[in-house]
Structure formats: structure tokens, C-alpha cells
Structure 1
Amino acid sequence: MCNLYTVRTPIGGAALFKGVQWVWQPSDGLHSIRPTDSAPIIVVTDDGLTGIEATWGFPSPPQYGPGPVYNTRNLGSAFWRPWIGQRALVPVIAFCEHDARKRKHWFGTGETVFFAGIWGRLPGEPLPRFSILTTESAEPVAAVHPKAMPVLLETEERAAAWIGAGQFEAGRIAAGLSPVQAPAPPINRQPDLFG
């Protein structure tokens, strides 16, 4: 499961970004994002598309231990019900998956695309939380990590469809999104240091 991605700031380029009001954006540069890190996401507010700071991952239910839940596979789960209507676009230029030997493989084109995400505010917390939707792996990711991969929104049309959908359309839209529209070749592979 994806637990590392990179984002380049300032975020821009696509026409979709021209209407985004950035309330927060990290300093300019390339940023590695891991669960529990804060990251820029785009959400719909009363003011339209808004770029905000959010923490990656929701607190896990007590029966599952202390780690955060940072990937969403089952939108029908009662755990996600409070936030399913609050979709987010998570800007990303590359994401990492580990193979069975725990080697890192990076996928992306170097251009900003989006993960499909959901977000929400929890009582008493200063920052909202977000999670990334995952789906069945497709090539070339499946060769490295066959279980699941992030849902990628690689065009403005797909991004707009995801963030603009009504609450009851979210599951249908997510189910209809192919995981990868065009192959994203591995952009880096960590060398195998142990044989």
C-alpha cells in the first residue's frame, strides 16, 4: 500500500489550479510525504476549490492498534461513512510502492496528477485529516505490488468528476475509475543491497 509520495510546490500548471484559493501550501520545493505528515490537498468549500493543509491518515479504531488509517479501499465501510461526501484531490508527482523484498519502486511522470482522497475534521484537532483511495493494482505497479495501488486522477476531467460528485455518487465514481489511464513507468528503483 502506498505510504510514501512526493509533491512539488508551488502547485500549478493545469487549468484546474487556476481556480484554487490556496489557504496553505508548503515552502517551494520537492516534499516527501508519509503517513501522519501534513500535506496540501484540494477540497470544496463555500468559497469553491480551496487548497488546505491536512494530516495524512485518520486515527485507527482501537481494535486495530495505534497506527493511522491512511488508505481507503472499501468506501462502503462504516468507518468511512462520516467522510465519504467530503472528497479531496491530493497533488502528487510520484508515489512509491515496495516489492516483496521491501525495495522501493517509484511511479510517476514528474508532472502533477492527483490521488482521489477523502477528508474530514475531527473534534479537538487543529488540522483536518485525509486518506487516499486505493484500488486493485494495474500494470506497471502490479508487477511490483499486486495487492493495491492509489486511485490516480490523471486528467482534469477525472479530477473534476471526483471532487464534484454528490455524496451518493462517490462509490460509483470510484468503482468506475481505472487505476491508471496511461502506464506510469517506474522512475527510480532502489538498488538491492543484499543480493
Structure 2
Amino acid sequence: MCNLYRMTASVDEMKKLFGSFEGERSNVAAQDEIYPKYAAPVMTREEGALALREMEWGFPGPKAAGGRPVTNVRNLSSPFWRSALANPERRCLVPVTRFSEWSAKPDPATGRKVKHWFGLKERGEGERDALFAFAGIWRPGEERPYFSFLTCAPNAMVGAVHPKAMPVMLDPDDYDQWLGGSTEEACALAKAYPDDKMTQFA
């Protein structure tokens, strides 16, 4: 389960990856650590055009389960996610520059689990972390909208740290299929990202 990621890209970097979009700002604040219930930038498609919005990470959870935010979408056939996945207007792109998984066992020296950061092997401008996107879904809320993102079985790199799952990472060629495809076409993108395109940061 991914419950921590980073988004440090500028608006100019977002334009280069996603193209032009509505809700444009001169910049967005760099966020080194985004946890559940934090607000973060999300790209939606509205009337055929991309729009930059701020949303809270994590769908409000069922009261029976304590109401904790649900941040990751793993079971794509679950009734909890079905309506959002079936509606292209509720799919979104979550801009990311790194994501973290915790070690399975604590560090013997500190007794604490260790954060392992992952991202793209290619570098961005000025050797910055390259921007990419998770496959996300969103829903309206009373105060602000909420988002979560899909996870899938991990590749070898992430699986060595967290064998249960990794976020669904999309290439730019996948964006139209994710944002506008049928439910089956969209869910077909829920697969591990190639190891050879990724790096693990020290």
C-alpha cells in the first residue's frame, strides 16, 4: 500500500508532460511528502480539456470500517469503486515525482521501518526528478473533492521492498485510454510498470 509520495514539479514541467490545462497557476508548491488527507494537485478532464485541481488524498472510508480514508484502489471490481471507475469523468491523473514504500522489517539499528523511494530512471530538467502520473479516480465532497489511485501487483524492483502492491504508473501514451476509455480499457492499464524504466533512490 502506497501512503506517501512526492510532487515537486513546476507548472512548466506539468505543461510539458500533460499539455495545456485549465485552472492554470504560475506555480504549485513543491510537496516533499504527501500523506493521506493532505491536499495535492490532480489533473481531471472536463469537457474535453485537462484541468488542474486541488483535492484531498483518500476517499472517505465506510463508517463500519472506522471512516479512515481509502487511498489505494486495489480491488477494481469492488462496489466501493465501481461507479467511479465506470465513469470517465471521475478518472484523473495524479502528478508524482517519487513514491515511497516502507520496508517490511525494521532497521536493526533504529528499530524503525525504512522509507524506500522510487521514480523514473530518466531525469527531468536540471537533473530534477522526472514527473509522471498515477492512474487516479476522484469524487466530489462537501468541502473539497477527494482522490485515490489504483494499485496493482508490483514489479521486481518495488516487490523486493513491498511484495503486495505498487501504484499504477501511466505513460503519456496511456492518458487518453485512462481518461476516456471504457471500463475494461481503463482497467487494462492496471499493471506493473517496467523495472527498466524505474530507479530506486538511495
Measure the CA separation in 1 of the matches of 2:46 and 2:115. 36
Residue 150 (structure 1) aligns with = 167
Residue 126 (structure 2) aligns with = none
Measure the CA separation in 2 of the matches of 1:24 and 1:129. 20
Measure the CA separation in 2 of the matches of 1:173 and 1:160. 9
Q: How far off its partner does 1:20 sit?
A: 1.3
Q: How far off its partner does 1:15 sit?
A: 4.3
Instruction: Tell me whether 127-136 or 9-18 shows the greater mean CA deviation.
Output: 9-18
Residue 94 (structure 2) aligns with = 90
Q: How far off its partner does 1:181 sit?
A: 2.9
Measure the CA separation in 2 of the matches of 1:3 and 1:126. 22
RMSD of equivalent CA atoms? 2.0
Measure the CA separation in 1 of the matches of 2:157 and 2:26. 31
TM-score by length of 1: 0.84
1:161 aligns with 2:177: yes
The letter of the residue matching 1:181 is: P
* Cα offsets for 1:162-195 (capped at 9, x unmatched): 1122xxx23443234432134312113xxxxxxx
What does 1:177-188 correspond to in 2, within 5 Å? 177-183=190-196, 184-188=198-202
Change (3 A) 1:18 1:48: same
* Cα offsets for 1:86-122 (capped at 9, x unmatched): 1010000100001212211000132000000000103
SS in 1 for 2:179: helix
Q: For the Cα contact (< 8 Å) 2:155–2:194, is it kept in 1?
A: no
Structure richer in helix, relative to its length: 2
Measure the CA separation in 2 of the matches of 1:175 and 1:99. 28
Measure the CA separation in 2 of the matches of 1:54 and 1:26. 16
Residue 33 (structure 2) aligns with = 32
Change (3 A) 1:161 1:134: same
Q: How far off its partner does 1:80 sit?
A: 1.2
Q: 1:117 aligns with which of 132, 136, 139?
A: 136
Consecutive unaligned residues of structure 2, counting only runs of 5 or more, are 106-112, 121-128
Change (3 A) 1:28 1:160: same
Equivalenced residue count is: 182
Measure the CA separation in 1 of the matches of 2:26 and 2:153. 31
User: Runs of 4+ in structure 1 displaced over 6 angstroms?
Assistant: none
Change (3 A) 1:176 1:39: closer
SS in 1 for 2:156: coil
Q: 1:175 aligns with which of 162, 184, 188?
A: 188
Measure the CA separation in 1 of the matches of 2:189 and 2:33. 29
Identity %: 37
The letter of the residue matching 1:89 is: L
Measure the CA separation in 1 of the matches of 2:39 and 2:130. 21
* Cα offsets for 1:41-78 (capped at 9, x unmatched): 00011261101000000111112113110100112111
Consecutive unaligned residues of structure 1, counting only runs of 5 or more, are 189-195
The letter of the residue matching 2:102 is: H
The letter of the residue matching 1:5 is: Y
TM-score by length of 2: 0.82
Residue 69 (structure 1) aligns with = 70
The letter of the residue matching 1:121 is: P
Q: For the Cα contact (< 8 Å) 1:83–1:119, is it kept in 2?
A: yes
Q: For the Cα contact (< 8 Å) 2:153–2:191, is it kept in 1?
A: no
